[in-house]
Amino acid sequence: MSFEVSSLPAADGFRMPAEFEPQDGVWMAWPERSDNWRFGAKPAQRAFTEVAKAISQTTPVTMVVSSSQYANARRQLPPQIRVVEMTTDDAWLRDTGPTYLVNDLGVRRGVDWQFNAWGGLHYGLYFPWHNDNAVARKVCEIYGDSVYKAPIVMEGGAIHVDGEGTLYTTEECLLSPGRNPGLGKDELEKLLKDYLSIEKVVWLPRGVFQDETTGHVDNLMQVIAPGVVAMTWCDDPADEQYESSQEAYRLLCETTDARGRSLVVHKLPMPGPLYLTEEEASGIDASGGMNREGGARLAGSYANFLITNKQVVFPLLDPAKDEQVAAQLADLFPGYLITGVNAREILLGGGNIHCITQQIPRI
C-alpha cells in the first residue's frame, strides 16, 4: 500500500542510490506527441522499442502507454516488456517518474518532484503538463511504495549521484527562473540534502549547447563509479559547445567529492555537431513551445547513456565516432554488456536514452 510520508527522507535514513547499483526494473513511456516526434511518432516508437529490447537483456522493462496507443505498443513490443496503461503528456520518464530512495533495512520509497515541462509558463516546452506531473505518484502506487512529495520543481535528468554522498547538477538548470524563482544555491542544496541524503553538491555551470531542458546534467556527464565521471568533450574552439565543456572539465578536475576524493574525469567525444534536417522537420507538427525547424542544432551527447545491472545502453549518433565510444565504454565498464542503439529519432525529440528511462533500485 502506497501513502505519502510527511517527514524528510534524510531524517528517515533514506538515500538515493547510484545508477550503477542493482536495479529491479526500468520504466519508459511510449512516444506519440506529433509536435515533438515526426510522422506521428512512428520512427520514435521503433527507436523506443529497440531501447526497451536492449535493456530487457539484463533488467525488466515497463512501458507506460496511453489508452489510444496501448494496442499499437503491445503489438510492437516483445512479450517480455510489461505494458501499463497510463496517461502522459510526453515520453520523458527520467523527468516525470519518481526518484527512488532506499534504506539499510530493505525499504524503498519514491520522491515526487514537481514537474512543469522544464520551465513552466516562463519557457516550458508544452502546456498543460498535469498528466506528466502525476506520473511519479502513479509509479509508486503500482509498486506499493510510499512517497515523499518534494516542494520544488525538479527532474530526474537534472541530477546525478554517486551513492556515497555526492550530487552533480548544473547552475543553468536548477537556478533557472522557470523552475524555482527566489531559491538560491544554499536553499536548494539544503532541500537536496533533505530529500536525497547527499552531503555535497558539485555545481557545473552549463550543460550541452541548445539543450531544451536548460542544461540537464545527464546530457553533459554520467557517474561511472564513486570518484569517476565521464563527460561530453569538445576541443574545437569554434564550436558553441567548447566553452561549456572546457569549464566543466576544469571544475571537475579541481573539485573533490563528498568523501574528499579527487575526481577522475574521462572525456567522451561530442558527436557531430548534429543538426535537424529539413526533411526531418517537415514531419513534425508546429507548436508554440518546441523549436523543430530544419538546420537547428541538436544537443547530441554520448554521455546520455543508461547504466543498468552490469549493462550500459548508449546512443549511436555519429558513424564517425560510435565505435570509438563503444570501445571507451568497454574500457570504463569492464565486464559490462555494452549495447549501442540507433538513437537519432530520440535526439530529434530533445533528449536521449538516459532521458527516456528511469530505474527502480533493487531492495
Give the Cβ contact number of residue 82 at 10 Å: 15
CATH number at residue 232: 3.75.10.10
Task: Check pLDDT > 80 for residue 289.
Answer: no
- Other beta carbons within 10 angstroms of residue 194's beta carbon come to 17
- Residues annotated catalytic, as ranges: 355
Based on the structure, what is the number of domains in the chain? 1
Cell of 295: 538546420
pTM of the model: 0.97
Q: What's the pLDDT band for 291 if we cut at 50, 70, 90? A: confident
pLDDT at 1 exceeding the cut of 90: no
Question: Residue 288's pLDDT is what?
Answer: 73
Would you list the DSSP string of 203-219?
EES--STT-TTSS-GGG
- Note down the domain range covering 71: 4-361
Spatial distance between the Cα atoms of 41 and 190, rounded to a whole number of angstroms: 40
Alpha helices, DSSP H only, in the chain? 9-12, 42-55, 70-76, 93-96, 120-123, 130-133, 135-143, 171-174, 185-196, 242-254, 278-282, 322-332, 344-348
Amino acid at 41: A
pLDDT at 187 over 90: yes
| 294-340 per-position pLDDT tens digit | 999 999 999 999 999 999 999 999 999 999 999 999 999 999 999 99
Task: Provide, rounded to the nearest whole percent, the portion of the chain with pLDDT above 70.
Answer: 99
Task: Give the separation between CA 66 and CA 128, rounded to whole angstroms.
Answer: 16
Q: What is the mean pLDDT of residues 225-237?
A: 97
pLDDT single digits (tens) 243-263 = 999 999 999 999 999 999 999
